[in-house]
Structure 1
Amino acid sequence: MSIQQSHLEQNQVLTSDELLAHWQGHRNLTRKLIEVFPEDHFFKYSIGGMRTFAEMTTELLAIAGPGLKEIVTGQTQEFQEHIDHQNKKDLLLKLWDETTVAINMYFPQIALDSFSKTIKTFGQYEGTVISSILYFIDNEIHHRGQGYVYLRSLGIEPPFFWER
């Protein structure tokens, strides 16, 4: 280990536990947004050709849990965002909660020295473990922002973004 690497580890910005808490804070806020969304608009409403918020939610479900499981186990999975939700928001919320449990189970299994390891998620997206996790978080924030626009266009006040 170089002196520079040792110095960086001593001055690390986030611990693994803090990163998990940060991610789960975002997931908690996204869950609140899903709850506020009127069920009929959740599955049918879009603006400017964007997908419905239900479709965005299924993408988030397809990435977070399965992607993290793949990082931990090394078993490549095919990206599968088509979830049979039967147009029931409660079912997607249940899957959201199950994914939260899965993230809490898998995340602590990531060895600290593997965050810089290069991987491919879903057999095609190359990056490091940390860049993949940050992508999972960033993608959720991006789609949550779209959900905020949808709610505001419907005259509904979304949850405050800082209430994570």
Structure 2
Amino acid sequence: MTGAAQDGSRNNGILLDPAGLLQILESNRRLTVWVIEAFPEEALFQYKPVEILRPFAEMVQEILNIEDDYVRGIALGEWYFGKVADDARTKADLLAACEQVRARTRELWPRVTTERLLQVESDPFFGGPPQSHFERLVYALENEIHHRGQGYVYLRELGIEPPLFYER
């Protein structure tokens, strides 16, 4: 898979570069935002199909906190748990938090170089094995996709047709 540049051209045989990775993150976030928008306000924050699961809004808060923590850590070397999305109490708040976190990612992204993505460091949060920063961002992306899939199931259980996953 080669990443397309802004002008539609290909990246001269480069499999993936930081700009291409950001495009993938952007595409996935657009879809997550559309899933948020499909939820009725109350269901977004309260509905869960069984007691052990979380409402979709809580999953989105986790997605946003992970992105903010990882991008800040990779770009600036500042590793700490933030709670940028935890105060969202309405759909409008949650959508604003999505834009705030993504704006911060775009602001810091020029510091996310190929060399920095390939750098391997100890896990700053969970005590897991050392991994590259690219692997951290892939984890964040997989986490978002996983929780968005849960959101699709929730919407279907609520009788709401979710957005088409292949439209970005």
The 1-side partners of 2:73 and 2:57 are apart by 24
Greater mean deviation of Cα atoms: 26-35 or 48-57: 48-57
Where do residues 33-52 of structure 1 align in structure 2 (5 Å cutoff)?
33-48=35-50, 49-52=52-55
Answer yes or no: is the 8 Å Cα contact 1:71–1:121 preserved in 2: no
Where do residues 2-151 of structure 1 align in structure 2 (5 Å cutoff)?
11-48=13-50, 49-78=52-81, 80=83, 83-85=86-88, 87-119=89-121, 120-122=123-125, 124-125=127-128, 126-151=130-155
SS at match of 1:104: helix
Alignment size in residue pairs: 154
* Uncovered stretches (5+) of structure 1, i.e. residues with no partner: 1-9
Q: Aligned residue for 1:160?
A: 164
Q: Aligned residue for 2:5?
A: none
Instruction: State the AA in 2 paired with 1:66.
Output: D
The 2-side partners of 1:107 and 1:123 are apart by 24
1:145 to partner: Cα distance? 0.1
List, as ranges, runs of 4+ consecutive aligned residues in structure 1 with deviation greater than 6 Å: none
* Uncovered stretches (5+) of structure 2, i.e. residues with no partner: 1-11
Greater mean deviation of Cα atoms: 107-116 or 136-145: 107-116
Instruction: State the AA in 2 paired with 1:52.
Output: P
SS at match of 2:118: coil
Identity of aligned residues (%): 34
RMSD of aligned C-alpha atoms?
1.8
Bigger relative CO (Cα 8 Å, ≥ 6 apart): 1
Task: Give the structure with the larger helix fraction.
Answer: 1
The 2-side partners of 1:55 and 1:68 are apart by 20
SS at match of 1:122: coil
The 2-side partners of 1:16 and 1:91 are apart by 29
Greater mean deviation of Cα atoms: 44-53 or 140-149: 44-53
When normalised by structure 1's length, the TM-score is 0.86
Answer yes or no: is the 8 Å Cα contact 1:76–1:123 preserved in 2: no
SS at match of 2:66: helix
Answer yes or no: is the 8 Å Cα contact 1:77–1:123 preserved in 2: no
